Amino acid sequence: MGKLDAKIPAGPLAQKWTNYKATTKLVNPANKKKLEIIVIGTGLSGAGASSALGELGYSVKTFCYQDSPRRAHSVAAQGGINAAKNYQSDNDSVYRLFYDMIKGGDFRAREANVYRAAEVSNQVIDHYTALGVPFARDYGGTLNTRSFGGVQVSRTFYSSGQTGQQCLLGTYSSLNRQIKSGNVKMFPRREMLDLVLIEGKARGIITRNLVSGEIERHSAHAVVLATGGYGTIYFLSTLAVNSNASAAWKAHKKGAFFANPSFVQIHPTSIPQLNEFQSKLTLMSESLRNDGRIWVPKTKGDKRHANDIPEEERDYYLERRYPTFGNLVPRDVASRAAKERCDAGYGIGETGLAVNLDFRDAIKKQGKKAIENKYGNLFEMYRNITGIDSYVEPMRIYPAGHYTMGGLWVDYELMTTIPGLYSIGESNFSDHGANRLGASSLMQASGDGYFILPNTINNYLSGEISVPKISTDRLEFAEAEKASIERLNKLISIKGKKNAGSFHKRLGKIMWDHCGMSRNEAGLKEALKLINELKEEFWKELNVTGSLNEVNPELEKAGRVADYFELAELLVTDALNRKESCGAHFREEYQTPDGEAMRNDEEFTYVAAWEYAGEGKPPVLHKEELKFEEVEMKVRSYK
Amino acid sequence: MKLTLKIWRQKNASAKGNFETYQMDNVSPEMAFLEMLDSLNKRLVEEDKDPVAFDHDCREGICGSCGMYINGHPHGPVPAITTCHLSMRFFKDGETVWIEPWRAKPFPVIKDLIVDRTAFDKIQIACGFISVNTGSAPEANNILIPKKISDEAFNSAICIGCGACVAACKNASAMLFVSAKISQYALLPQGRVEAKERVRAMVDKMDEVGFGSCSNTGACEAECPKQIKITNIARMNREFFKAF
């Protein structure tokens, strides 16, 4: 089987998870208390896993960099969470949800994992409802749903435009219950600096207390990374500005393979960049495309006010190009179509890097009140930022870096290539292939955390029951701690002139220009050169003020940017290696005459899992061949 | 535009703080308030001076990390938004802007504008939850909830836990924060089961960690970036009286 064994259970697709659960090894309740598990991150996957593992009786230690677990970036997800409930009786099923995800991911995800994600989706909705998450309801008191991009059913559960917040606060509440019971010990304002391996197994972490600056050692029988994605590698993205890849990257350098790093979702509907000082881009939920119509003027450089452009002079380009799915095409398709129009000179606004998202017709048909009920907070957010009232004129939107389908390689049990190290939620690569469909990230993160990991980690821990509490006095901890401190001191001692943020911004621009919505070989090679030059400049010109032993956001930022330089190289290397277009990865050399992505199934039906080979050495590629037993690989068409 | 900033600087929890003055010459009205502080910090680092520390994360008004007094108002002079959503177009050329951390005993200053809000977490840990184990939930549509009730619960549930209500209150009361959570669960049938234990435990904890009493001034509601209503406080009081 080589180095990459995905450990997919035998049997028919629909039976795999049931069979797995029925036959996997278990840990006796009395032994669970003696086993310690570290969880990094408190989004839906991390806090969900901490809760469920605590309920099972494990001793859990949970870490986050924020001041409270309630602030993890799952909180910002807007539109909704998918489940195969088929409440609308519109032909939905677990199979259809699975199929939509496989197709939406352009046949670059693992069948068995995706099927399981769809399978547990219904339990997720039940659980959140029981936790008091106020999902939208119909007048009869039942749960309501709406449609999202890339599908033709209505399966997205939502709480206005702040579904992520409501799910996260529900998860935070279940985490709090476990903290109260003593099963989970919470460590906020901690940043993971390194992973500690003992005899090849993940046995602990080194953290920095972000208040005292103290470097701490924490040991456990297993470590779970629930650390989210790396979308902020583009600097401007829809992510929280402190989101970072450092924990995953440290794990990668200790032996965890990194899979499909170049699969990055550029979300089609973000508020465009307004000025050069901007620190982030704000997303406008995809759910808006249910009622909003996307268009640009038919005439190049038409500078008239949107409301003054008559119907026949508007180009509803998504409806024109994709009559079947219209405005609800998947995100990668919608983003590329917007870029195509803007590059061709039809973009609107001063920069020409924007398109209209227009609610005129929906308001005319359904009334302002109905639209306000569905999207009130989004319209309000849009007005706060831009000063524009979208009830009377269209929103202006443009694509922005959003979600990373790539991440740490995991097997069916969500274990990385390091024994005892797991990766869940956005931080792993497994369920979304080359493109994620809307409202499936909350679904996957919650499923991983609450329902999957707690059922797979026992298999590993059953072999650890005789291992006593691991001492942090061991040499491995001392060495990892020393290396972490040395690195921080190195950053502080450069004493240049520029702050870490300015490097981050420049790195982001390189990535956006050369490895964003569309990529080509020359551009990617140029990017590698530019990243390297900037990295050298960083290590010469950086200034980190203050010291190690105090609150020091500049030091935190510097460490994260330093890791991003290394990940950026891997991301570009992966994009160079994948000589095909699939999902969000669009290589200009590989497209159909009408500009659609052209896959190369013959050569690239695999997960590219990269092994770290050491400082300055090229990473080693391992391929996990993807076998499609259930679905037939087709050209992904939304026309 | 040009601005004079008066920013509270405090090295750590035990140090004595003071206001420092900073001149900003190139503030664009298109900047967000935190981006204005970013640009100040960039300059300070270039001058090898200690940048101003403040909590922030999502920068889209939902995580609740950011929060500071700006000209005497939590989250600044514009109602119903968080600090990260505050645009510089609301300030005038030549204006002096006073920036301070939350001032409340249960929220001690950690550094500059960063305060410790773990007191909020402690209240939630006390009983801010519904006791249901993973896997034991009933089918979601077996719990029917009138839309009106569900919407009302949602309106309470949108609290972001930023602490502006406490900062705005002359008594540093956390009643708006606590009552929003109490209300969400009190309204929903799932939450009724433990309603009595919950309100007692959360109110007890609120008092224990040092938040003051409510005197119905309404400053919390006026300053809340999410416009949580003080009717939640009335509901919490009713729930509390019913709990004995």
**Helix or strand run (H / E) with residue A33:** none
Contact A447, A124 (CB under 8 A): yes
Bridge partners of residue B70, in order along the sequence: B73, B99
Structure tokens at A294: 């996307």
* Region of poorest pLDDT, from A82-96, A275-289, A325-339: A275-289
* Region of poorest pLDDT, from A480-484, A506-510, A594-598: A594-598
What pLDDT shows up at residue B20? 98
Mutation for testing the A interface, residue in B56, B62, B81 having most A CBs under 10 Å = B62
pLDDT, tens digit (0-9, with 9 covering 90-100), for B5-35: 999 999 999 999 999 999 999 999 989 999 9
Mutation for testing the B interface, residue in A119, A176, A284 having most B CBs under 10 Å = A176
Q: Percent of chain A having pLDDT more than 70?
A: 100
Q: What is the mean pLDDT of residues A585-612?
A: 96
d(CA A403, CA A517): 13
| Neighboring chain A residues of B185 at a CB cutoff of 8 Å | 132
Asked whether residue A2 carries a pLDDT value surpassing 80, the answer given is no
Q: Which of residues 151-170 of A touch B (CB under 8 A)?
A: 159-160, 162, 164-166, 169
Q: What is the mean pLDDT of residues A360-389?
A: 92
Contact A2, A618 (CB under 8 A): no
- Cα angle A431, B58, A343 (rounded to 5 degrees) comes to 70
Distances (CA, A) of A420 to A36, A39, A360, A461: 11, 12, 54, 8
Q: What SS3 state is found at A527?
A: helix
Distances (CA, A) of A561 to A258, A519, A535, A610: 18, 23, 9, 21
Total number of residues shown for chain A:
639
d(CA A263, CA A407): 9
Distances (CA, A) of A398 to A8, A295, A335, A339, A605: 39, 12, 8, 8, 31
Asked whether residue A302 carries a pLDDT value surpassing 90, the answer given is yes
| Pick from A130, A134, A165: CB nearest B137 | A130
Kindly name the residue from A71, A96, A289, A331 that is annotated as catalytic: A331
In sign, the C-alpha dihedral spanning A345, A348, A352, A357 is negative
Contact A228, A47 (CB under 8 A): no
- Cα A430 vs. chain centroid, distance in angstroms? 11
Q: What is the mean pLDDT of residues A620-638?
A: 94
d(CA A139, CA A233): 44
The residues spanned by each domain of chain A are 268-401, 478-600
Calculate how close chain A gets to B214, using CA atoms only, in Å.
Answer: 25
CA nearest to A116, candidates A8, A222, A27: A8
d(CA A440, CA A443): 5
pLDDT grade for A387, boundaries at 50, 70 and 90: confident
d(CA A402, CA A410): 22
Q: What SS3 state is found at B104?
A: coil
- Cα angle A312, A317, A321 (rounded to 5 degrees) comes to 120
| CATH topology identical between A268-401 and A478-600 | no
Contact A110, A436 (CB under 8 A): no
Q: What SS3 state is found at B236?
A: helix
CATH of domain A268-401: 3.90.700.10
Q: Which domains does chain B have, with CATH numbers?
A: 3-111 (3.10.20.30), 117-242 (1.10.1060.10)
What pLDDT shows up at residue A161? 87
Whether B62 sits inside 8 A of A76 (CB atoms) is yes
Q: Give yes or no for A284 touching B (CB within 8 A).
A: no
pLDDT grade for A20, boundaries at 50, 70 and 90: very high
Torsion of CA A357, A363, A365, A371, to 10 degrees: 100
Q: Give yes or no for A137 touching B (CB within 8 A).
A: yes
Neighbouring CB atoms inside 10 A of B168's CB total 24
**Helix or strand run (H / E) with residue A566:** helix A553-577
d(CA B205, CA A529): 57
Asked whether residue A300 carries a pLDDT value surpassing 70, the answer given is yes
Asked whether residue A212 carries a pLDDT value surpassing 50, the answer given is yes
CA nearest to B205, candidates A180, A540, A171, A136: A180
Q: State the complex-level ipTM.
A: 0.98
DSSP A73: G
Is A331 tagged catalytic?
yes
Whether B130 sits inside 8 A of A242 (CB atoms) is no
Bridge partners of residue A404, in order along the sequence: A264
pLDDT, tens digit (0-9, with 9 covering 90-100), for A533-570: 999 999 999 999 999 999 999 999 999 999 999 999 99
Structure tokens at A169: 């606060």
Q: Give yes or no for A131 touching B (CB within 8 A).
A: yes
- Cα angle A521, A526, A530 (rounded to 5 degrees) comes to 150
Provide the strand spans (E) within A361-452. Answer: 395-404, 407-408, 421-423
Residue spans of chain B under pLDDT 70: none
What pLDDT shows up at residue A275? 84
What pLDDT shows up at residue A1? 39
Q: Which three-class secondary structure string do you get for A220-277? A: CCEEEECCCCCHHHHCCECCCCCCCCHHHHHHHHCCCCEECCCCEEEEEEECCCCCCC
Structure tokens at A615: 């400082």
Which runs of consecutive H residues, i.e. helices, occur in chain B? 33-46, 118-127, 147-157, 164-168, 175-187, 189-192, 195-208, 219-223, 231-242
What pLDDT shows up at residue B59? 95
Distances (CA, A) of B195 to A198, A540, B182, B204: 47, 59, 8, 14
Calculate how close chain B gets to A532, using CA atoms only, in Å.
Answer: 23
The one-letter amino acid code at A179 reads I
What pLDDT shows up at residue A639? 87
Q: Which one of 1.10.3720.10, 1.10.10.10, 1.20.58.100, 3.40.640.10 gives the CATH number of domain A478-600?
A: 1.20.58.100
Q: Percent of chain A having pLDDT more than 90?
A: 93
**Helix or strand run (H / E) with residue A135:** none
d(CA B225, CA B159): 9
Whether A66 sits inside 8 A of B65 (CB atoms) is yes
